[in-house]
Amino acid sequence: MARDRRSTESDNTPMVARWGTGHPSAPLVVALHGNGTSEHSMIEIAPWLPHGPVAYLAVRAPIEGDSGFIWFDESGPDDLAGTTRWLLDWLETEGDPDRPILLLGFRDGVTVAGAMMLEAPDRFAGAVLLYGALPDGPATSLVRGRLAGMPVFLAHGTGDTRTPTDRLLSTWSWLSTQSGAPLWAERGPGGAQLAGDVVGHAGTWLGDRLDHLRAHGENPLPDGDEPDWPIGRLPERVGPPPKVTTVTPQHQESQNAPAHLQAELWKRVVALDGVSTAPATVGVAGTRSLLLDREHAEGPDAAFVLPAEGEFAHLHPESDGSLHVALPDALAYDALAKGWAVAHPLAGVRVSAGMVLVPGPRDEGEVEIVAGIVAASHRFAAAG
């Protein structure tokens, strides 16, 4: 792309619009507009998003188009990879290096945000993706668990006629089953404008994520060797992931566990030290809680689904067979990467970052593995 068609500052940094606090360590929300508009179309919604110690920064796409600005042109040096690297390098200069950064993308801005997330998942504390699709990037960036620990809000519009349907479907599918991200995803009317309920829903989610960051900090991916479980190293789960709901109450919708395997699993987990059972107070109807008595419960609040009740896990009813468990972050991320867990939609938003759904066992061998995951949750709740 010719240099004279670029729309940047003289030093090639982005043109931006700002709103909110100027404190260099405050959480930063980076907003990316759709092609054909500008940074002003995004900064205008900032007053309807959470206030407080948070900075909003809307970026202008670098290429001047016939109408508005565009993010990349695959026929020249300003391709998606080049734009992604340009934005990531520039973010190094925006405030303190350890400040939490979240992305807010609209339409084509979702593609750019997705490329940034996939290229450098450790750099971002969350993302709001509105009416757009992830890039058609190399399969190496779409590995299972790539976005573990990064909460994502995804909204697709039933009236979206600009984004190819296959890209919308593949984005929804990968984020909800393979990415490892705690995903809250919803479909509703719209797809052309940032207006109506979607801004309110995204704002509520964003406010909850910011509150969680202030209270608990970020939960970066652990380094080092694979963690040890009560059963040793966790193997890879065989086959494709099950379908799981993307809002609460979260439950499994395919590959459901046979009733006799659920019964065998229940027999094993209720035999753990200090465990009692009761009908659950959260979850779908028929859910059964696994409770740890006060004598044994010495773990942190993050080790419990419901800390006040001592509930560290619960089993969904026979029509489902999955479980919710609270795990240490390192174990949760290991389970996500190996297909043995799907992050709770509000993990790291309203509940602990290690809250995951574990698919019910499909055979006798999986009973052993799932029981070992529950035992790890029990160990966390008992001793921290």
Domain ranges within the chain, ordered by starting residue = 3-216, 259-383
pLDDT of residue 384: 59
User: Does the pTM exceed 0.85?
Assistant: yes
Structure-model confidence comparison of residues 136 and 344, the more confident one: 344
Secondary-structure class of domain 3-216 per CATH = alpha beta
Does the structure show a pLDDT above 50 at 3? no
Same fold, 3-216 and 259-383: no
- Per DSSP, helices labelled H in 24-107 are 40-43, 80-91
Provide the β-strand partners of residue 31: 58, 104
Structure-model confidence comparison of residues 177 and 223, the more confident one: 177
pLDDT of residue 4: 53
pLDDT of residue 14: 95
| Token pair 């659950």: residue | 280
Does the structure show a pLDDT above 50 at 1? no
CA atoms 204, 27, 179, 269: torsion sign: negative
| Average pLDDT of the residues in 136-144 | 69
CB 32 within 8 A of CB 131: no
Does the structure show a pLDDT above 60 at 245? yes
> Could you report the per-residue pLDDT of 22-81, keeping only the tens digit for each?
999 999 999 999 999 999 999 999 999 999 999 999 999 999 988 899 999 876 666 999
Report in angstroms the alpha-carbon separations of 377 from 222, 229, 310, 328, 331: 18, 10, 12, 8, 9
State the fold for domain 259-383. Answer: Aspartate Aminotransferase, domain 1 (3.90.1150)
pLDDT of residue 186: 95
- Per DSSP, helices labelled H in 226-363 are 259-269, 329-337
CB 317 within 8 A of CB 284: yes
What helix, strand, coil percent values describe the chain, rounded to 5?
30, 20, 50
| Average pLDDT of the residues in 275-279 | 96
pLDDT of residue 2: 42
> Could you report the per-residue pLDDT of 153-196, keeping only the tens digit for each?
999 998 888 899 999 999 999 999 999 999 999 998 877 677 67
> What does the alpha-carbon distance between residue 259 and residue 306 come to, in Å, rounded to a whole number?
26
| Average pLDDT of the residues in 331-357 | 96
CB 276 within 8 A of CB 293: yes
State the average pLDDT for the chain: 92
> Could you report the per-residue pLDDT of 73-130, keeping only the tens digit for each?
876 666 999 999 999 999 999 999 999 999 999 999 999 999 999 999 999 999 999 9
For residue 351, which of 274, 270, 249 has the smallest C-alpha distance?
Answer: 249
For residue 29, which of 54, 60, 47 has the smallest C-alpha distance?
Answer: 54
